[in-house]
Chains A and B, each alone.
Chain A
Amino acid sequence: MYDFAYHKPSSLAEAARLLAADPDAKAIAGGHTLLPALKHRLNRPSSLVDLSGIAEMRGIRREGDSLVIGALTRHEAVARSSEVKSAIPALVHLAQHIGDTQVRNRGTIGGSVANNDPAADYPAAVLGLGATVRTSRREIPADEFFLGMFTTALEPDEILTAIAFPIPEKAGYAKMRNPASRYVMAGAFVSKGKMGVRVAINGAGPCVFRQAAMEAALAANWSPEAVAGIKQSADGLNSDIHGSAEYRAHLVSVMAKRAVQAAG
C-alpha cells in the first residue's frame, strides 16, 4: 500500500468538503473492497476520507412504503434486521449470503452500491426493486444509477448516504457463485409491486441490467415457469475461466426461475 493521509470527518458536509478539495482523495466505508485494492497497489489515493464517523449515514427505518437503509449499514446488520425481514425478506437473504462472516461484518451497503462491482450482490437488489439512491446532493433512481462496470452516476465528491427501497409485494433473489471468489457468477433479483415487475441480472454482464423479456413474461404470468424458458443472449456477457458467456447466459434463466420460486 502507498502512503496516504487519513481523515475522519464527523459530518456529511465536512466529508464532502474534504472530497471536493482533493481530486485524489477517496471515501472509505467498510474498506473491504478498497483496502485489498490498496494492498495490491492498484489504487493510489492521496488521502482517505473515513465515512464511519458520520451519524446521519447510519440506521434502518421505514419511511412510508419505503425501507430506508443508511449507507454505512453493514451487511450483517441487514442480515439480522427484523425491520428488513418484515419489509423485504429477500434483502435479508441476499445480505446473509454476501462473502463470509468477516466480510459481512465490515462491508457496507453504501460501499457495495457505490463500487458497482459487476459481481456484487446489492446492485441487483437496488435495480431489481427500483430503489432510489440518496446522496449528499440529490436522489438518483436506480435505473439511472448503474452506468457500467465499476461506474455509477456518483460524482467524485458525491457521497451515497442511504438507499430507499420501495417495499414490494413479492421479491426473490438467487445466485450462482463463482466457485473460487464466491462473488456472483450469475444472479437474478425479481420483484413485483408498485414499481411494476422487475428483473435485475448481476454477475453475468459487465454491469447489473434489467431483463426486459423476463419482466414481460412475469408481468403476464408470475411463475417460475414463465422465465425458465426465456433464453438470455450470451452477447456481451462476461467470460472467464470459471464461466463462459454461454454458461452465464444459461445460468441467468436458471437463477431467474429460482428467484421467482423464492419470491413465492
Chain B
Amino acid sequence: MNVVHPFEGIGASVRRKEDRRFLSGRGQYTDDINRPGQLYAHILRSPHAHARIGAIDTTAARAMPGVEAIYTSADMAGIGGLPCGWQIHNKDGTPMAEPKHPVLAEGKVRHVGDPVAVVIAATRQQARDAAEAIEVEYDVLPAAATLAQAQAPGAPAVHDDLPANLCYDWHIGEKAAVDAAFAQAAHRVVFETTNNRLVPNAMEPRSAIGDYDATTGEHTLWTTSQNPHVIRLLMGAFVLNLPEAKLRVVAPDVGGGFGSKIYHYAEEAIVTWAAHKLERPVKWTSDRTEAFMSDAHGRDHVTRAELALDKDGKFLALHVQTQANMGAYLSTFAPCVPTYLYATLLAGVYSTPAIYAEVKAVFTHTVPVDAYRGAGRPEATYLLERLVDVAAKQCGFDRVELRRKNFIATDAFPYQTPVALQYDSGDYFSTLDQALQSADWAGFEARRAEAKARGKLRGIGISTYLEACGIAPSAVVGSLGARAGLYEVGTIRVHPTGSVTVLTGAHSHGQGHETTFAQLVADKLGVPVANVDIVHGDTAKVPFGMGTYGSRSLAVGGSAMDKAMDKIIAKGKRIAAHLMEASVEDVEFERGTFRVAGTDKTKALAEVSLAAYVPHNYPIEELEPGLEETAFYDPKNFTYPGGCHIAEVEIEPETGRVQLVNFTAVDDVGRVINPMIVEGQVQGGVAQGVGQALLEACVYDEAGQLVSASMMDYCLPRAEDLAPVSVATHTTLCTHNPLGVKGCGEVGAIGSPPAVINAVVDALRDYGVEHVEMPATPQKIWSILHRQQS
C-alpha cells in the first residue's frame, strides 16, 4: 500500500472528521428533522404480555384536540406483516415456523409493548393524551416469558397454531463422531449456563418520519437505521408494496445502533403508510421506556455443553444443546443468530475435531430478540471460554496451558472447522503471549495477596476468542437460509479538480467511517482526507447497499471502495496515457501520480480528472468522459478476528460488589487503518461486555411484565464500573479481501464477558465456587459467599 500522506493513510490515527459536527451539537439526527405540516404519531402499546383484544373504542379519543387520525389493525388491512430475512430448517428438513408479525396487533397482543393502535395528532402531547382515551378491552391470558415457562407442559401458546412454542429445532455437525469420541474420552466435563438477556440501549432512541409527495407519488422515510437500503427493500416489497423508485429511505446521523437498528420495525411502516393516507408528514420518536419494550433485545440463551478431553487435555469432542428465546415474533435476522452466527463458532480457536450442536428456538411473550453487538458470537465465546476454565479446574490442568495445547496451529490455516467455517488466518499463540505479558499474568499472585491484605478478593480471568464477521459471501449465506445477498457497494466519484466523493452502502452510526474510509482513499489515490467526502445513508444518493452490522463495513464496504478505486486507476491510466502520448501498459500509478514507467513524465490525478470532465484532449472515441466508478464486492469468506482478553477484578466480600480493576485486550483485527478508532471500538465493545458480565439483566416477571423497563432498574455500565482498558493489536492479514482487514466493531463485546466471569470465579477460588451466572451482581456474589459461610 502506498502511503502518500504519511499522516493520513492506512495506519494513521487521523482525528475523526465527524466529531466536529457531533461534539458541537450539530449532528442531524432523525428527530432533528422536521417537515412542513408535520404530524406526530403516538403508539398505544399493550400493557399485558398476553391478551385477546376485544373491542377497541376510539370515540372519545377521536374527539380530543389536535387528533387527525387513529388507526388499528382493522384500518391496515392489505398491509403485509414484518418480514423475516432468514429461514432456518429443522433437523427433519422442514422449514421453521414463521408466524405473522403484524404491524399493529391483530386479535391478540403477545408482549408488553406490542403496538395496538396509533394516534396521529398535531402535537406529540396531544397524540399521547388521545392514546390514553382509547379504550381497549383485553381478555388477559397467562403468559410465558422465559424459555423454561414457554417449554413447560401446558404452557400458554404465543401463537395459537404453535402449541409447543417451537420456532425450530436445528442442528449442525456430526453426532456420530461426537458420540464416538465421548465413548473413549478420559474426561467429560458438563457445563450449564444462561446467557443473560440484554437491552441494547443506543443513546439515540429510534425515530421515523414518513413523508409523501402527492405530485410525484414519492414516499420518503427518515429513520434511525443501520441499513436504509435493506429497509427500503423489506418495507417496500413485503409490507407496503411500494416500488423502489417511489420510496426513498434516509438514515441521517444515527446515534448508535449495536444491532438494534438493523431491523425493519413496525413504526417505519406506520409513519410511511399514514403519511400517504393523510398526505401530511408524520413523525414518531421513541422515548426510553418505549425503547425498552420495542427495540429488539439481545442474547437470552440457556445451554448445556459437554466437552470430551483425552488424558492430556486434548479436546476430543463438544456437544452443545442450546435453547434460544426468539421473543413473540421473529425479528428480521433473529433465526440466524443462535444458528449460523453461534453454533458455527463453537470450534473457537481450538482444534476440537468433532462438534455437534442442537439449537431449539422458542417463542415467548417477550419483545423479539435479534442480533446485538456480536450476535451469537458472544454467546458461543462465553460458553466455550467458561467451559475451558471449568474443564481446566475439574481435570487439573492449567487454564492457560490447556488453551495453548488446543489452539489451532499457526501453520494450519486455512483451517476447516467441523462446524462449516473455514478460517483463513490467525495466530492465537502470539495474541495470548502478548496479552499475558501486557497484563503481567505471572505477577498476579502478588497482586492477589496485596488485595487480600486490604480485605479484597482479587481474581484474574482469560478468554482466547475468535469470531466470524465481515458478513458475508452471498451464495454461502443464501444456501444457509438468508433471503438477501450480503455484498456491499461503493462508488468513487473523482470530481474535475481531483477531490473525491465516496458513496457507500455501509452506514456509520458511531464507527467513524467518514474518517476511516477517507483514509483508504487518501492512501490509494493520494487525495488528502480533507478533500474526501463520504456519503452514506440515503437510498437516493447511494446506488445500493446492505448496511452496517457484523463488523462488515470495512471488510466488505471498504473492499468495494477499493475495487472501485482500482477501476478509477485503470481508467485514469488510459486517460493519462493519452495525455502523455504513451501506451497504457507503460503507465504506472502511485501516490496520486500517473507516470510513464522509467521516465519523469507524470500527470497528477487532478490533471487526469480535469481531462475526464473537460475532454478537449481526450480519447473520446474509446473512452467515455467522466471519472466515476462503482463496484459491488461480494466477499469470498467471512473474516476471523480473534485474540486474547484478560480481566482482573476485586470483590468486596462484605457487600459482594465486583470492581473491574484492569482489562487487557490484544486483538487481531487484520490490517489496522486507524489505530485510534480501533482502540475506541474495542474499548466500547469491552464496556458493553463488562456490562453483560457484571451489570445488565433484562428481567421479566412470571406474568410477563418487563421489570427492568428503565435505567432505574436496567444497569448500563458507567465510567466508574470500568477500569483502564489497554488495547493492542497483533495483525495477521485477512487473505481474501483486498485490504487484508478483518473487523473490530464487535471483538470487545465478544471476548470480554468470559474473561470477566473467569476472573470473578477465580477471585472466589477459595470458596469452592464453580460458576457465577451473568450478571455477577453484588447480591448474587453475596448470596454465594453467604451460602458458603452458613
Contact = CB atoms under 8 A, between A and B. Distances in A.
Interface of A: 1-3, 40-41, 176, 179-181, 183, 240-244, 247, 250-251, 254
Contacts of A3: 125
B255 interface: no
30 contacts: A1-B125, A2-B125, A3-B125, A40-B289, A41-B128, A41-B132, A176-B655, A179-B695, A179-B715, A179-B778, A180-B708, A180-B713, A181-B711, A181-B712, A183-B712, A240-B713, A241-B697, A241-B699, A241-B707, A241-B708, A242-B777, A242-B779, A243-B778, A244-B779, A247-B656, A247-B782, A247-B783, A250-B782, A251-B655, A254-B655
A3 B125 CA distance: 9
Given A176-B655, A250-B786, 15 more contacts: A2-B129, A3-B125, A179-B778, A180-B715, A181-B711, A183-B712, A240-B713, A241-B713, A242-B713, A242-B777, A243-B778, A243-B779, A244-B779, A251-B655, A254-B655
B714 interface: yes
Nearest to A244: B779
A254 B782 CA distance: 12
A243 B777 CA distance: 9
Nearest to A243: B779
Contacts of B707: 241
- Of A180, A242, A243, A244, chain B has the most CB atoms within 10 Å of the CB of A180
Contact of B712 (A180, A243, A250): A180
Interface in B593-641: none
Contacts of B125: 1-3
A3 B712 CA distance: 25
B131 to A, nearest CB: 11
Interface string B681-711: 0000000000000010101000000011001
Interface in B452-479: none
Contacts of B711: 180-181
B135 interface: no
Interface residues of B, number: 25
A240 B707 CA distance: 10
B697 A176 contact: no
B47 to A, nearest CB: 13
Contacts of A254: 654-655
A251 B779 CA distance: 10
Contacts of A247: 656, 778-779, 782-783
A216 B46 CA distance: 52
A181 B129 contact: no
B786 A180 contact: no
Contacts of B132: 41
A241 B706 CA distance: 12
Interface in B751-788: 777-779, 782-783, 786
Contacts of B695: 179-180
A2 B715 CA distance: 29
Interface in B126-141: 128-129, 132
B698 to A, nearest CB: 11
B267 to A, nearest CB: 20
A109 B689 CA distance: 37
B186 to A, nearest CB: 42
A99 to B, nearest CB: 12
B777 A179 contact: yes
Nearest to B697: A241
A41 B779 CA distance: 32
Interface string B649-686: 00000111100000000000000000000000000000
Nearest to B780: A247
A252 to B, nearest CB: 12
A128 B403 CA distance: 55
Contacts of B289: 40
| Nearest 9 Cβ contacts at the A-B interface | A180-B715, A181-B712, A179-B715, A254-B654, A247-B779, A180-B713, A243-B779, A241-B699, A176-B655
Contacts of B777: 179, 242
A239 to B, nearest CB: 10
A242 B707 CA distance: 11
Contacts of B656: 247
A180 B655 contact: no
Contacts of B782: 247, 250
A247 B780 CA distance: 10
A164 to B, nearest CB: 32
Contacts of B708: 180, 241
B285 to A, nearest CB: 14
B722 to A, nearest CB: 14
Contacts of A240: 713
B726 to A, nearest CB: 25
Nearest to A176: B655
Contacts of B712: 180-181, 183
A141 B422 CA distance: 75
A246 to B, nearest CB: 8
A241 B710 CA distance: 13
- Of B132, B697, B708, B713, chain A has the most CB atoms within 10 Å of the CB of B713
B778 A176 contact: yes
A23 to B, nearest CB: 22
Nearest to A180: B715
Contacts of B786: 250
A176 B782 CA distance: 13
A132 to B, nearest CB: 32
A3 B124 CA distance: 13
A180 B778 contact: no
Contacts of A243: 778-779
Contact of B713 (A1, A181, A244): A181
A247 B779 CA distance: 7
B59 to A, nearest CB: 21
Interface string B227-268: 000000000000000000000000000000000000000000
A234 to B, nearest CB: 12
A3 B66 CA distance: 14
A158 B715 CA distance: 37
- Of B129, B695, B782, chain A has the most CB atoms within 10 Å of the CB of B782
A34 to B, nearest CB: 16
A40 B712 CA distance: 13
Nearest to B786: A250
A244 B787 CA distance: 14
